[in-house]
Chains A and B, each alone.
Chain A
């Protein structure tokens, strides 16, 4: 089921030309105009250049060189000046258009929601802060937003420069250590949208994607409430055994599962791992097979990732995966 969801992403073109927010729509609108005028200029000037090369208007003079009459020469001057003036006017137009779009995008509306995003090599830490600390939500690599409401993202980096980019929603914003930056957008169509890190950040820059899930307000609230709960307590014996594997092994050194002694912060929060659609920042769908493979040998799927290999007995692995699958 997860795999098909993964494939379903293909149906949503994660493209700047498939806007799902007013912001992306404004940029796409600007783009289409730039493209139309630009392509026309490109083809027109090239065509004129080629045509001119065949026009052969000069006549040979005594010196063997080509000349045109003084009148023609003045005519040429006027044409060149006019062409330059037209170029300048078109550029002015673009400038004004760009400024107006830019101003509109820069104005942060009163937002209903603020999400803190921290970039790590090579995953996204996502925090829904709340004035009441016990209500804040920590997750990773998957961001849920309510449709129709502006959401602000406060961006920071834990290590190197990353860049937060969801083409369907808005332009990108860099996450720079030592700087705070922010970006906002308002999804206007429900759906699952893909984002990817857009600043070279090392070995696994290619596998640092994330998902933005835009849901109706009631669905979003339901998701948020679920995320606020502690980690599910396993009842099934296999899952209980799996929890033991998790807690007694090295997992807890890096990962947190709320409600258990595991409080590591080096890697993503796993409290609601099973509610996420993808693994390892968009590297693979979140299915049993991929999850098991990732735990045992992350380097095979994402060479250079900071998560070490975990050689487990098959029985242990089965139990662990069963436990993790309960963490909805």
Chain B
């Protein structure tokens, strides 16, 4: 037993097969009164000030999701501009300077401002719901993370119209991105915004790890954790180890080479151009798995719910996700096969890049088995899962092809790679994400999305993605390199480019249908109720949308599918305070109740600190002394933040009288 634990603690949660002590079912009057008290207690207020100071993970995650989706649209507009320019030879719509800014912004927006924030935001909303927690572990840190992310967004999208948009690619290879060949502040904008988004990502990761380990519902041992939560956990660990590399590289090495003349990448003074590539891709490769693994988790959730059965091979799937997370760190040199790195070293990365297909394959086989052994209901969400199979597997196959050094040396840095990356990202992340939107929109908003519009959305999207990106495989094989603002008619690349550009129009239509669906359904969609899909997870216990406090009582979990176990009554624990905000902290492995934690209330200090960080990092582009000013204004904000957390009113170490341990509540 760990320190502070009593024998009584161990007895609090029954194993799956132990009989529950007989207790009374709580009456509706009691529940209604509890709801009033808790909802008021957990409310962060209303109005503009509340919006600035809220620490409710649901509010913060919703704005994260909305902002990230706006970034998806912005990145899409940039892609549209690129496709228009490339639709025929020497189109003349965009000159090279503008085009370089647009393709850089497209990549930067999609990778840094849409994909990772969206996936962590889905985690920040749904992980607490799926594990039965009222909030994330560090609510104010969560708010701080969002504000930092927003600073990054604003910084990029103010710079672009001011002709200060970064133009050296989302990967910013040196020496092109260094002080000599990219004078001015464009690449500095890139370097600092990367750091902001990395801070947001790291903060979200720490939050998700702590929430998953310590705030689970009693009885939710690790082998009862939903697969989506597993993927968010794995991804959070990956973020902890991958994101520091790009934050260090972009701000401390490249940024400093550009502003204070460090020599990291200057060969004349012992610096090294390949150092940048190693550091960037050490981050960059895990980055794409950070984007793609939560999509895998979403697919498992959707498949389980709509195949109407437990997923086949839960353990295999969990291990596959963990293995993929590890292996992802051993692939990065496959982005550098054309560089003079020794052949033997490159071969190791070929092997690793092929081996990683195996755990992914295992997951795919398990999902197919689940569908086969179930009776699938073809809702839009499940349609998107089917679309995933078609699109992602194509990308996976071209990925294995690219893993081969000899072949890669032909198609590296050509449109073949553009095709591959879009197939895996659109097929492996965006398609499952759309599916998850259809699955979980009812929970977040209380209304169902239209299935009819959903089917239009699905078909337009799948067709659009394939028409746009399939021809690009051929373009790459036929010699068309990436990142070119135009091409000569004599190259013969015109017709395939025209087809690709036409496909882009179809994708736009698909997304437009989705937006219409969201706007209409938000107001007039069918009312969802708690569990419209009759699914099994804890998120379906709460109302739709969940009240401020999410869970009135911590649910006692006795299996991996709590709501499929009983559809009438749920065992819960009572005793959390209704006078102050409390969450139940449980033990790491077995989720036995451990202690009650006082959760924070609304605070302006996360926003204030994010603004100070903005001054510091953005100002440092213009003058190194801004770092000092930034620190000076941050110090009082940090002090105020600490003061607020120290000002907690309650002083009790005294235990109130023990009440009934387990109550039964209408599910």
Q: Give the B-binding residues of A (Cβ under 8 A).
A: 6-7, 9-10, 13-17, 24, 26-27, 30-31, 34-35, 38-39, 41-42, 45-46, 48-50, 52-58, 60, 63-68, 72-73, 76-77, 79-80, 83-84, 87-88, 91, 94-95, 97-99, 101-102, 105-106, 121, 159-161, 163, 165, 167, 170-174, 176-181, 194, 196-206, 282-283, 303-304
Contacts and interface: CB of A to CB of B under 8 A. Distances in A.
Given A49-B389, A171-B410, A196-B481, A98 B372 contact: no
Interface residues on B, range: 35 or more
A43 B316 CA distance: 24
List 4 tightest A-B contacts by C-beta distance, closest first.
A171-B409, A178-B267, A206-B484, A98-B404
Interface in B469-501: 477-479, 481-488, 490-492
Nearest to A302: B96
Contact of A57 (B176, B367, B373): B373
Nearest to A88: B358
Contact of A6 (B343, B362, B371, B490): B490
A94 B373 contact: no
A101 B406 contact: yes
Contacts of B97: 203, 303-304
Given A198-B412, A203-B97, A76 B347 contact: no
Interface of B: 95-97, 100, 168-169, 173, 175-176, 181, 267, 271-274, 307-310, 312-313, 316, 338-340, 343, 347, 350-351, 354-355, 357-358, 361-362, 364-369, 371-376, 378, 382, 386, 389-390, 393-394, 397-398, 400-401, 403-414, 477-479, 481-488, 490-492, 534, 564
Given A16-B410, A48-B368, A52-B372, A181 B340 contact: yes
A31 B397 contact: no
A98 B350 contact: yes
Contact of A79 (B271, B369, B477): B369
A178 B490 CA distance: 35
B407 A27 contact: yes
Nearest to B342: A106
Given A38-B398, A53-B386, A203-B96, 4 more contacts: A34-B407, A42-B397, A60-B308, A94-B403
Contact of B407 (A14, A30, A46): A30
A29 to B, nearest CB: 10
Contacts of A170: 409-410
A91 B354 contact: yes
A88 B355 CA distance: 8
Contact of B410 (A31, A45, A102, A121): A31
Contacts, number: 265
Contacts of A24: 410
Contacts of B364: 45, 49
A72 B217 CA distance: 34
A97 to B, nearest CB: 8
15 contacts: A16-B477, A41-B393, A46-B389, A53-B371, A56-B374, A60-B375, A63-B564, A64-B534, A66-B308, A76-B373, A84-B358, A172-B413, A200-B482, A206-B487, A304-B96
B483 A205 contact: yes
Nearest to B410: A16
B656 to A, nearest CB: 39
A196 B414 CA distance: 11
Contacts of A179: 273-274, 339-340
A95 B350 contact: yes
A49 B308 contact: no
A302 to B, nearest CB: 9
A172 B404 CA distance: 14
A124 to B, nearest CB: 14
B181 A159 contact: yes
Contacts of A16: 410-411, 477-479
B406 A41 contact: no
A68 B490 CA distance: 60
Given A58-B374, A64-B308, A79-B369, A95 B490 contact: no
A12 to B, nearest CB: 10
B404 A30 contact: yes
A154 B545 CA distance: 65
Contact of A39 (B312, B397, B414): B397
